[in-house]
């Protein structure tokens, strides 16, 4: 399972592995469904990006998620 280690602050003993083959939806166990009647384009894009494996997210994808306060937790 490809993963990398995330360090939190100065305490390097607090780490966790992140499986980059999972999407944000899979990682957070929170699936977004499209609302009835459609949605605005930025939210539709964010929903699509949340389904993409983390490994496949580009810098621009991450910028979009972070700008909407929807990035990785």
Per the structure block, which two tokens stand in for 27? 């990682």
Residues ≥6 apart with Cβ < 8 Å to 19:
1, 2, 3, 27, 54
pLDDT in tens, 37-69: 777 888 888 889 999 999 999 999 999 888 877
Is the sign of the CA dihedral 45, 48, 54, 55 positive or negative? negative
pLDDT in tens, 10-22: 555 445 677 889 9
């Amino acid at each position: 399972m490809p993963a990398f280690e995330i360090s939190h602050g100065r305490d390097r003993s607090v780490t966790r592995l992140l499986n980059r083959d999972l999407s944000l939806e899979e990682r957070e166990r929170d699936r977004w469904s499209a609302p009835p009647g459609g949605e605005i384009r930025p939210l539709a894009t964010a929903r699509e990006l949340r389904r993409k494996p983390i490994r496949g997210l580009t810098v621009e994808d991450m910028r979009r998620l972070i700008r909407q306060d929807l990035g990785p937790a």
